[in-house]
């Protein structure tokens, strides 16, 4: 290699080589410095389209044919800001202003996994406020030094650190070797070995043509250097002299750790970046505690094919196997593909048949960033997604798990703000000439979440149990919530729908016979032939449904009962009558009988009465989906009536529970929840301590066992007694769905007026305000207050009705004709509560620019307060001030609109 004697270049000029190694284009490296370490999570600005289009690798254009890509000698530059989450608009500056950057990120190769890792590392550095210059110089080199090439050289010279990603191909790339020599000489080299071990990079093994690295990847090295070894030796020797703490290895199982470690090392040595280290430490601690919704299933069996297919769909362009359907002569039809499941890998065996037609390949859409798994309830969709997330979580910055139930999916999606450091709340109306509508505010909040997910920082967004393609509140498509496909973030969906968003889902099959047997056997692996036959009968009757198999395995592990005896007990178990006909439940009567066996076991453990665990399951049928505090379930269960049973039911319960000790004392909520977990009726939350989630199919069965008026009031009163809290917001919404008529639905249950007043003042008003202000869910908050107003008006009508009982009339010495006259204090409290709700609605309508509706609501509130409390009461004065503000703002807006051209 020529020495660096050219005064026009700091790095000299490479010898002439073939075009396959050195293209004739100038550099397409880009410089993007856009954040400082200061945190201000309240503001986020979208990266400009010009920056997004220019911030790509040099393979985005053809260096041999492009005539306009680099004619202009200016680069997109973004100076650091105080807000580490905000991107400034790009500004074009001359290369003379590119004097320094924090990190020069060098790489070589076009492997998709390498580019994905490099994108993540660059984006993470910039997110933490460190300017980064990225370049693959081998793809953007030229025979003569151009102005663009000098920009790269200036960036290297001014970089505080050189982070060089090393692959096996890097050691035959002269530019990577030059970067290693340069930064090791400055003692600011941070090497990242990508799918490579530091032990593979010894000079002796490669120079002396020994070792695996030389044999496979060292053959072209000397052609690039014209046979000169000195500079290459210096580069590798410099690499070996780097401190071991600064040598990082990135492989499939530690991407996240490697990215965070790289950012931490650089931040520790940069002036003014110490806060980045603390911020990353807090993030990692938060991710470890809140990343996964449930603990990993240690007894997960099978699904090797499905896990590989999901990996292929999401990472299909990253060196994964290719599926084909080939044909041969003398046979008809496509080639059959058979999966052989081994302990460590999957082999795909092709049964080849002859045919006269030519071979055809089956194209499979992959690598687009979205995968969908469909199947019936209880087949194991959630367990499959959970196992995939645990296996591949290091490829993502964090796993974001949300429930897909249509009434709650938007709220669950907006709850991601706490992990993405964005503000989705309603901002103050500083521009009086332009007041955003409710729909615009909601779209803005959603777009802020989407924008964060569309960065090069990869997340895994899991939507579990997607009920519908449309949102329940406004019928908008769920697609509007998701980031664009093909970006850094991947989306994984589980659903019972046959098709979602034009994506062909992976149909989840039943477990194989061997897998089903393994799941049922539990801790006991050796059964006699007769018992194994009983297990096969149970497996057949359950239809290999994963939930039923897991419950059977738990019963056999927890109780000293044989499979044949369990089979006989299930067959003899009477099935209770359900309040409604549910097609999902009617498909498997044997599974419902198995549920009843579990309930009988719980009842025997608690004594002669219906157990707390059973009643917790019944109460859960009316709660919101997702983890629920065990204490709340126990409180709701304690309000349910205890039913005694005898006869055949009691005899069966004693027969199957002979080995399960009965407790004379009442069990606590935690103990009952533990029993539900042990029998796989529920799963524990790994995010919130003391929270459990009853399985969806079990909740559905419990909800259909009894009428809503028999059990739902107990759950409602339990939620009311706990009062308002952020953790119970979903459960409060579930109560509201039962109490009020949303979307022209009739209320399911009714409360006493005193209970309704407490619910409105202490629970519903805080929920509506938080939903509006914190999450910008304006439509849901306004609709909640509307139906709440209707409920208060209906309660008021019951008080002003004439008294029909003679005894009530004779209680007072004066003539009484209505219940309001019997309870004047209650009537006044009800009226004032209605005024408060009306005033709150008026204030929210004011924020949405609906001045006419707001004026009508606030005048009704003023009339009620004046009639009851008088003109000088603080509540009346406050309502009049709201009316004055409304009138003033409305007139200002109309005046501006009339004067504007």
Q: What is the 3-state secondary structure (H, E, C) of 279-328?
A: HHHHHHHHHHHHCCCCCCCCCCCCCHHHHHHHHHHHHCCCCCCCCCCCCC
From CA 556, how far away is CA 571, in angstroms rounded?
Answer: 16
CB 304 within 8 A of CB 265: no
From CA 157, how far away is CA 826, in angstroms rounded?
Answer: 79
Torsions phi, psi for 503 (to 5 deg): -105, 125
The pLDDT value recorded for residue 708 is 64
CB 388 within 8 A of CB 310: yes
Helix axes 765-775, 729-739, angle to 10 degrees: 120
> Measured in whole angstroms, how far is the alpha carbon of residue 22 from the centre of its chain?
43
The pLDDT value recorded for residue 36 is 31
Beta bridge partners of 271: none
The pLDDT value recorded for residue 141 is 55
The pLDDT value recorded for residue 99 is 58
The pLDDT value recorded for residue 895 is 75
The pLDDT value recorded for residue 480 is 86
From residue 873, how far is each of 831, 867, 880 by CA, in Å? 15, 11, 11
Q: Global pTM?
A: 0.80
Helix (H) or strand (E) holding 401: strand 399-403
The pLDDT value recorded for residue 442 is 92
User: 679: Cβ–Cβ under 8 A, 6 or more apart, which residues?
Assistant: 551, 554, 555, 558, 598, 601
The pLDDT value recorded for residue 319 is 44
The pLDDT value recorded for residue 403 is 93
Find the angle CA(343)-CA(344)-CA(349) to the nearest 5 degrees. Answer: 80
From CA 480, how far away is CA 695, in angstroms rounded?
Answer: 29
Q: Which of 259, 33, 262, 272 is nearest to 130 (CA)?
A: 33
The pLDDT value recorded for residue 804 is 56
Residue showing tokens 């496509």? 334
Three-class DSSP labels, 521-566: HCCCCCCCHHHHHHHHHHHHHHCCCHHHHHHHHHHHHHCCCCHHHH
Q: Which of 798, 855, 796 is nearest to 831 (CA)?
A: 796
In the predicted model, residues of the chain with pLDDT beneath 50 are 1-97, 219-227, 318-367, 429-433, 644-666, 806-811, 813
The pLDDT value recorded for residue 361 is 34
The helix/strand/coil state of 374 is: strand
The helix/strand/coil state of 83 is: coil
The pLDDT value recorded for residue 212 is 57
Q: Which two tokens stand for residue 239?
A: 């690499």
CB 131 within 8 A of CB 147: no
Find the angle CA(629)-CA(631)-CA(637) to the nearest 5 degrees. Answer: 110
The helix/strand/coil state of 336 is: strand
From CA 351, how far away is CA 364, in angstroms rounded?
Answer: 20
Three-class DSSP labels, 444-482: HHHHHHHHHHCCCCCCEEEEEEECCCECCCCCCEHHHHC
Q: How many CB atoms lie within 10 A of CB 329?
A: 10
Q: Which of 431, 427, 440, 436 is nearest to 892 (CA)?
A: 431
* 563 burial type by CB count under 10 A (0-12 exposed, 13-18 middle, 19+ buried): buried
From CA 116, how far away is CA 127, in angstroms rounded?
Answer: 16
From CA 481, how far away is CA 466, in angstroms rounded?
Answer: 13
* Strand ranges, E, within 119-268: 132-135, 159-166, 189-194, 248-250
From CA 867, how far away is CA 879, in angstroms rounded?
Answer: 13
Helix (H) or strand (E) holding 122: helix 112-127
From residue 443, how far is each of 50, 426, 735, 775 by CA, in Å? 23, 11, 27, 11
The pLDDT value recorded for residue 383 is 94
From CA 584, how far away is CA 882, in angstroms rounded?
Answer: 52
Concatenating the DSSP letter of every residue in 22-39 gives S-SSPP--EEE----S--
CB 632 within 8 A of CB 552: no
Cα within 13 Å of Cα(480), Cβ side: 16
The predicted-structure confidence for 762-777, as pLDDT tens digits, reads as follows: 999 999 999 999 999 9
In 3-state terms, the chain is what percent helix, strand and coil (to 5)?
Answer: 50, 10, 40
Concatenating the DSSP letter of every residue in 549-613 gives HHHHHHHHHHSS--HHHHHHHHHHPPPPPPSS--HHHHT-HHHHHHHHHHHHHHHHHH-SSPPHH
Buried b (16+ CB within 10 A) or exposed e, 468-489: bbebbbeebebeebbbeeebbb
Cα within 13 Å of Cα(164), Cβ side: 30
């Amino acid at each position: 290699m020529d020495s660096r004697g050219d005064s026009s270049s700091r790095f000299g000029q490479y010898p002439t080589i073939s075009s396959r190694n050195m293209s004739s284009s100038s550099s397409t490296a880009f410089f993007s410095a856009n954040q400082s370490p200061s945190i201000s999570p309240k503001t986020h600005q979208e990266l400009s389209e010009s920056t997004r289009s220019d911030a790509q690798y040099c393979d985005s254009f053809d260096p041999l044919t492009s005539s306009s890509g680099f004619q202009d000698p200016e680069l997109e530059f973004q100076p650091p800001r105080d807000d580490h989450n905000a991107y400034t608009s790009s500004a074009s500056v001359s290369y003379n202003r590119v004097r320094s950057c924090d990190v020069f990120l060098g790489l070589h190769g076009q492997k998709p996994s390498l580019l994905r890792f490099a994108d993540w590392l660059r984006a993470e550095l910039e997110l933490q406020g460190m300017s980064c210059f990225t370049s693959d110089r081998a793809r953007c080199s030229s025979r003569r030094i151009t102005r663009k090439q000098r920009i790269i050289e200036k960036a290297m010279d001014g970089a505080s650190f050189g982070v060089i990603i090393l692959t096996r191909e890097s050691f035959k790339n002269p530019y990577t070797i030059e970067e290693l020599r340069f930064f090791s000489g400055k003692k600011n080299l941070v090497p990242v070995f990508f799918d490579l071990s530091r032990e593979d990079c010894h000079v002796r093994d490669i120079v002396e043509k020994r070792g695996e690295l030389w044999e496979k990847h060292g053959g072209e090295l000397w052609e690039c250097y014209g046979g000169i070894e000195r500079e290459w030796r210096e580069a590798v020797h410099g690499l070996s002299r780097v401190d071991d703490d600064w040598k990082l290895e990135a492989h499939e199982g530690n991407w996240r750790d490697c990215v965070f470690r790289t950012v931490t090392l650089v931040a520790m040595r940069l002036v003014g970046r110490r806060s980045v280290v603390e911020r990353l430490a807090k993030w990692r601690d938060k991710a470890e505690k809140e990343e996964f919704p449930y603990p990993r299933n240690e007894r997960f069996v099978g699904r090797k094919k499905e896990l590989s297919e999901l990996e292929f769909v999401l990472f299909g362009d990253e060196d994964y196997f290719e599926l084909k359907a080939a044909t041969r002569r003398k046979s008809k039809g496509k080639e059959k593909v058979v999966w052989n499941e081994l302990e460590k890998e999957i082999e795909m065996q092709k049964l080849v048949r002859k045919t006269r037609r030519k071979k055809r390949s089956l194209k499979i859409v992959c690598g687009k960033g979205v995968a969908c798994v469909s199947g019936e309830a209880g087949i194991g969709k959630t367990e499959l997604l959970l196992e995939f997330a645990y296996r591949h979580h290091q490829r993502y910055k964090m796993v974001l798990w949300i429930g897909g139930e249509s009434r709650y999916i938007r709220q669950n999606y907006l709850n991601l703000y706490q992990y993405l450091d964005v503000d989705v709340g309603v901002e103050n109306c500083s521009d009086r000439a332009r007041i955003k509508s409710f729909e615009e505010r909601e779209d803005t909040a959603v777009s802020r979440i989407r924008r964060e997910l569309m960065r090069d920082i990869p997340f895994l967004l899991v939507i579990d149990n997607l009920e519908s393609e449309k949102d329940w509140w406004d019928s908008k498509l769920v697609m509007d919530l998701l980031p664009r496909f093909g970006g850094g973030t991947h989306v994984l969906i589980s659903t019972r729908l046959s098709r979602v968003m034009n994506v062909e889902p992976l149909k989840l099959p039943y477990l194989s016979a061997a897998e089903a047997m393994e799941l049922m056997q539990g801790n006991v692996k050796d059964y006699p032939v007769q018992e194994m036959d009983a297990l096969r009968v149970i497996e057949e009757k359950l239809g290999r449904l994963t939930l039923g198999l897991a419950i059977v395995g738990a019963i056999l592990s927890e109780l000293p009962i044989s499979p044949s005896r369990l089979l006989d007990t299930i067959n003899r178990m009477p099935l209770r009558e359900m309040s409604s006909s549910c097609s999902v439940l009617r498909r498997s009567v044997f599974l419902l009988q198995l549920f009843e066996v579990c309930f009988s076991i719980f009842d025997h453990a608690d004594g002669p009465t219906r157990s707390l665990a059973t009643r917790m399951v019944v109460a859960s049928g009316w709660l919101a989906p997702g983890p629920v505090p065990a204490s709340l379930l126990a409180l709701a269960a304690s309000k349910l009536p205890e039913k005694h049973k005898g006869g055949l039911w009691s005899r069966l319960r004693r027969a199957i529970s002979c080995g399960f000790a009965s407790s004379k004392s009442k069990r606590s909520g935690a103990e009952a929840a533990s029993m539900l977990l042990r029998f796989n009726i529920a799963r524990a939350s790994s995010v919130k301590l003391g929270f459990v989630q009853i399985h969806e199919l079990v909740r559905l069965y419990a909800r259909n066992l009894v009428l809503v008026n028999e059990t739902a009031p107990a759950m409602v009163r339990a939620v009311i007694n706990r009062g308002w809290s952020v953790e119970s917001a979903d459960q409060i919404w579930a109560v509201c769905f039962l109490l009020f008529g949303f979307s022209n639905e009739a209320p399911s249950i009714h409360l006493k007026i005193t209970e309704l007043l407490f619910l409105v003042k202490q629970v519903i008003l805080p929920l509506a305000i938080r939903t509006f202000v914190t999450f910008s869910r304006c439509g849901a908050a306004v609709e909640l207050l509307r139906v709440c107003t209707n409920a208060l008006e209906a309660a008021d009508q019951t008080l002003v009705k004439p008294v029909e009982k003679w005894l009530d009339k004779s209680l007072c010495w004066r003539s009484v004709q209505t219940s309001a006259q019997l309870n004047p204090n209650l009537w006044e409290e009800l009226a004032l509560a209605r005024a408060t709700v009306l005033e709150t609605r008026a204030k929210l309508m004011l924020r949405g620019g609906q001045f006419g509706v707001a004026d009508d609501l606030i005048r009704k509130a003023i009339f009620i307060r004046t009639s009851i409390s008088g003109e000088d009461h603080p509540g009346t004065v406050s309502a009049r001030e709201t009316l004055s503000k409304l009138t003033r703002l409305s007139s200002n807006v109309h005046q501006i609109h009339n004067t504007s051209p």
